[in-house]
Amino acid sequence: MRHVDEYRDEGAATRLLGAIRARVTRPWTIMEICGGQTHTLLQAGIDRMLPEAVTLVHGPGCPVCVTPVEKIDRAVALAGRPDVIVTSFGDMLRVPGSRGDLLGAKAAGGDVRMVYSPLDALALARKHPDREVVFFAVGFETTAPANAMAAWRAKREGVRNFSLLCSHVLVPPAMEAILADPEQRVQAFLAAGHVCTVMGYHAYEPIAARFRVPLVVTGFEPVDLLQGILMAVDALEAGRHEVENQYRRVVTREGNGPAQRLLAEVFEVRDMAWRGIGTIPASGFGLAPAYADLDAERRFDVAAVTAAEAGECIAGEVLRGRKKPPACPAFGTRCTPEHPLGAPMVSAEGACAAYHRYGRDPGSAT
Amino acid sequence: MTEPPPDFRRLACPVPVTTGPTVQMAHGGGGRMSKALTDRVFLPAFRNEALAALHDGATLERPAGRIAFTTDTYVVRPIFFPGGDIGSLAVHGTVNDLAMCGARPLALSTGYLLEEGFPLADLERVVASMRDAALRVGVPIVTGDTKVVDRGKGDGVYVNTAGIGVVPDGVEIAPARVRAGDRVLLSGGIALHGIAILSVREGLAFEAAIESDSAPLHDLVAAVLAAGGPGVHVMRDPTRGGVASATNELAFAAGVGMVLDERAVPVREDVRGACELLGLDPLYVANEGKLLAIVAPDVADAVLAAMRGHPLGREAAVVGEVTRGPAGRVTVRSRVGGTRLLDMMSGEQLPRIC
């Protein structure tokens, strides 16, 4: 497959691993932001091939992992209404709230449907004018433009039975929150290539300068990640702290202008609660005033649904890179993909799910 | 909530409508309409001696060898999909279950669970497809049953088939025979069925149609057994849960480990592309016409050649090796040379969101 196979080439991977080994002289801790990157690292076995001096910790970039419990509870409450069809991406269906997940709501008779695109949810609303279709809009800057497009079209076409349950989050404020934590040990970042495809990477330049950390915009294939790690190690060894771009075949400094303009029209930046982390100022998107009538939380009376996090899950520690999944006492025993206590064990981008699925034993806990 | 008023229309005794375009409750009632449906749809399609006797069950001659016996129920949606339909799938699936025991299929039964309102034209299409599939395999459908449930209580049509087959003397297919050092062979490109089904579900379309690999494997199995003899230790058709689940189940049952080489596993280019787009690992996607065989190392080359010489095994490959264990542990050597655990699938494979 073109544009994929060359980034999964064993020869290229071996050369990059050799270069990393040759460059590294002391221990470094690097955080990959995105859960998609975490999965590639473990699926390809890269975490086991790196020299011991390079430690990778896993970041908060798993959209469903950081979606607050109460948002899930609100989606479940909406699914309980006979007039509502709740639509969502597949990952979200199995993430537990405080009163069950959306699949449970479906089994109890709720109309919950998995879609591949928010525009499919909009099409569903056109097809069922007598029902209310709610799209559970979660994700980072990557998924936000498509969700914004659905809102923009719904407004333009006057589709009145469509609304969004919004829980959008932004990467740069989360990185600042991680770096501002006095206990943090991250020395360099692999920034999420897809987020930067949309937003560019200029917003990271002040972060790199202020916290004196190198930051490499990195792709998602094994060779991308190895090259990103090499660039980060090189910067750390040389004492540089700037933003570099490994994912040049896709990412530019300025990003995708039309997508950014659409985001600016449909959304406004708000303080946002992150599951397991807490509220981070100016770290999320809510619908802008002109789109407020598409806000499911306004349209339906669900604001009263609130919830607290269950006790045992250490998702917050995992999502901030303080602990690795096997350090959790429930990992693989009381918490498994079949019976998840927290979101990171569910999602295709959750670090706990990656460790469990690819067989990283508790010996690798730090 | 108040119950709707009872519908007494069916209690009246009008002249039965026997020629409507859809399935009605009376088609399953055991009366004239049931007989009419059997006479019009099923008997002409499945015509054979045992069925023509119209007894409550079929009687068959007892063959030499041991009997293999299996059953499976088919609920696939949509019922017509690229490369097949629920009728042919119900024959292939059960024939394949028999074949995995090393058995030659001898006879099938079928049960149809129909929903009131299901178009008779669709039923006839499904039954014709089942007939054609059984004819190609050369296995008669010797007994059957039809039931009808109220509209809204079913999903159009569900089909059950059961099958009996004969395991020739000397053929011994069992996980217990698997040994460390055995080779793992796969008969061709994986993940076709799952992707074909996904591609016709709402909202997904690919440039070129990917067709299901639904096919009967008894003949390929016969070729494998002829080439490998007692060196063929165990076989599986990796259906739901794909190659990952099949290898895990076998490794667990046999008390051995397995190492697969990701690069050796055949995956067609367009299927790999579709899996990439959907965020699916082809090792977990369903197949309906692939054979996974674990054979002694000294017959691996002969079995591979036999597979490649068969129309259903042209892309066959050696994809891995059996290890001492730990029991039940299947690992994959990744494309870049790392290793990872290949776990059982948990739940349905979910598409990723970004």
- CATH at residue B235: 3.90.650.10
* Stretch A166-184: mean pLDDT: 92
B336 touches chain A (CB under 8 A): yes
Statement: residue A70 has pLDDT above 50: yes
Residues B191 and B336 in one domain: yes
Q: What's the pLDDT score for residue A349? A: 80
CB-closest option in A92, A226, A359 to B340: A359
* Stretch A205-231: mean pLDDT: 97
Q: What's the pLDDT score for residue A365? A: 34
Contacts of B290 (CB under 8 A, 6+ apart): B186, B187, B188, B190, B213, B217, B237, B238
CA distance A124 to A122: 5
Q: Classify residue B340 as exposed, middle or buried by CB count within 10 Å of its CB (0-12, 13-18, 19+).
A: buried
Angle between helices B269-278 and B192-200 (to 10 degrees): 60
Q: Is B353 within 8 Å of A49 when comparing Cβ atoms?
A: no
The CA distance from A20 to the nearest CA of chain B, in Å, is 15
Tens digit of pLDDT for each residue in B285-343? 999 999 999 999 999 999 999 999 999 999 999 999 999 989 999 999 988 888 899 98
Q: What's the pLDDT score for residue A182? A: 87
Residues B233 and B321 in one domain: yes
B335 touches chain A (CB under 8 A): yes
Residue closest to B335 by CA, chosen among B267, B289, B279: B267
Tens digit of pLDDT for each residue in A6-61? 899 999 999 999 999 999 999 999 999 999 999 999 989 999 999 999 999 999 99
Classify residue B162: in a domain, yes or no: yes
B334 touches chain A (CB under 8 A): yes
Using alpha carbons only, give the angle A250, A251, A252 rounded to the nearest 5 degrees.
130
Q: Contacts of residue A337 in chain B, CB cutoff 8 Å?
A: 346-347
Q: What's the pLDDT score for residue A361? A: 60
Can you read off the two tokens belonging to residue B353? 């969101």
Of the residues B167, B185, B206, the one at which a domain ends: B167
| Percent share of chain A, pLDDT over 90 | 70
Classify residue B189: in a domain, yes or no: yes
Residues B100 and B36 in one domain: yes
| Global ipTM | 0.75
Q: Is B331 within 8 Å of A359 when comparing Cβ atoms?
A: yes
Of the residues B116, B144, B167, the one at which a domain ends: B167
Q: What CATH architecture is A1-311? A: 3-Layer(aba) Sandwich (3.40)
B205 touches chain A (CB under 8 A): no
Residues in chain A: 366
pLDDT < 50 stretches in chain B:
1, 12-18, 351-354
Can you read off the two tokens belonging to residue B60? 């068959």
Classify residue B25: in a domain, yes or no: yes
Residue with the bigger pLDDT between B5 and A110: it is: A110
Query: What is the phi-psi region of residue B14: left when phi exceeds 0, alpha when psi lies from -120 to 50, beta otherwise?
Result: beta
Classify residue B196: in a domain, yes or no: yes
Residues B103 and B202 in one domain: no
Residues B209 and B253 in one domain: yes
Can you read off the two tokens belonging to residue A209? 């300068």
Residues B148 and B188 in one domain: no
Residues B163 and B187 in one domain: no
Q: Is B353 within 8 Å of A92 when comparing Cβ atoms?
A: yes
Q: Place A192 in a pLDDT band, splitting at 50, 70 and 90.
A: very high
Residues B101 and B64 in one domain: yes
Here the CATH number for the domain that contains residue B38 is 3.30.1330.10
CB-closest option in B336, B343, B346 to A359: B343
Q: Is A222 within 8 Å of B335 when comparing Cβ atoms?
A: yes
Statement: residue A64 has pLDDT above 70: yes
Please state the domain count of chain B. Answer: 2
CA distance A142 to A285: 12
Residue-range domain boundaries for chain A: 1-311, 315-357
Residues B112 and B212 in one domain: no
Q: Is B350 within 8 Å of A90 when comparing Cβ atoms?
A: yes
Contacts of B226 (CB under 8 A, 6+ apart): B306
Residues B119 and B188 in one domain: no
Question: Average per-residue pLDDT in chain A?
Answer: 92
**Residue B127 structural domain:** 21-167
* Stretch A305-333: mean pLDDT: 84
DSSP character at residue B74:
E
Classify residue B353: in a domain, yes or no: no
Residues B106 and B30 in one domain: yes
CA distance A136 to A84: 12
Q: What's the pLDDT score for residue B353? A: 47
Q: Is the preceding omega at residue A289 within 30 degrees of 0, hence cis?
A: no
Residues B192 and B326 in one domain: yes
Please count the residue pairs, one from chain A and one from chain B, whose beta carbons lie less than 8 angstroms apart. Answer: 104
Q: What's the pLDDT score for residue A305? A: 77
Q: What's the pLDDT score for residue B343? A: 87
Q: What's the pLDDT score for residue A366? A: 34
Residue closest to A322 by CA, chosen among A174, A178, A175, A140: A178
